[in-house]
Each structure stands twice: as C-alpha cells, then as structure tokens.
Amino acid sequence: MKNYLKLLLMFMAISFFFVSCMQAVESAIDESEASLAPNFKLQDINQDTVTLSSYRDKQPVLLLFWTTWCPFCREQIKTVNAMYPVLVKDGLEVLMVNLGESDYTVNKFAKNYNVIYRILLDKDTKVATAYGILGVPTYIFIDKKGHIRFEENYFPKEKYKALISE
C-alpha cells in the first residue's frame, strides 16, 4: 500500500508539472498587462502572520508554491536556497507557500533541507486557488507595486535582476 501511495503521489507531481508547463504564462509579463497580485494573509512555520500587501511599495517578492512530496519542488528549493543570499542582497523577498500540508510535515522538511527563507502555510489552499496554481513548483514574481510580472515552473535566473530593477 505504501509503494502504491508513493507511485500515485509521484505520478500526480509529474502530471501537475507537465500540465503547468503546457499552461504556463508567458515568462515576462509586460507592465501594461501585469495584474495586481491577490493579497493574502498566512502564517509561517513559526506561527507569525505574513501579509503580501505589507511588501507593496517596499520590495519585490518571489512566491514559490510547493509541496514536500514533489521531486521537482525539492530541486527548485535547493536552487533558491543556494541563491538566497544574493537574492536578499538584490532586495528580493522569497516566500515559499506550502500547499495544504501539516505543520509537522513542513517543519520536518524545512529542517532536513536547511531551508533558510520564509515558509508560509496555505493549509486550505485558498491562496493557491486565488493564484490559479495548477501544479508545483510554481514561481510568481511580484514587483514592488504589487503586480505579477512572471509566472513559471522554474526559477528565472536570467530574468530576475531585470524584473527587480523595473
């Protein structure tokens, strides 16, 4: 039964990834077409409340929607973890938004992967629904003005600096 569950979860993760890739938004969204990011209020793994609107007019935000069981998410988390010091230096806030998993599972994962940036808990997945998340991992880049400028399933290494400076 455990093997069946693992295979099912793996199949779901791969399916979500490919569906998301096929339906991904154009990598860089023109400012005239950029939409205001839905505001949210979530708790992080330390039980502190985070509101997206608190970053507006202060700094850009990179959201990473993910789950612990997603193998692609794990790779992306390693990538962002390695780049995090540079991202902070560039003025970007990174917020990982976990979709529907327990505090215990997410905390254990964060310790095992030495996650150094903020993890938010979207326990009822309402935030993911508001953003139209179809699969994980999904990155959403939100500029200082609160507009969505990038949505994709990979970290925009080549584009993030240009997005920050806009």
114, pLDDT greater than 80:
yes
Q: Any idea which of 31-40, 62-71, 93-102, 128-137 has the lowest mean pLDDT?
A: 31-40
Cβ–Cβ < 8 Å for 9, 134: no
Model pLDDT for residues 135-157, shown as the tens digit of each residue: 999 999 999 999 999 999 988 77
9, pLDDT greater than 60:
no
Global pTM value: 0.79
11, pLDDT greater than 90:
no
Among 162, 150, 159, residue whose Cα is nearest residue 26: 150
E strand or H helix at 33, and its extent? Answer: none
Q: For each of the domains in the chain, give its residue range(s) and CATH number, in order of start.
A: 2-165 (3.40.30.10)
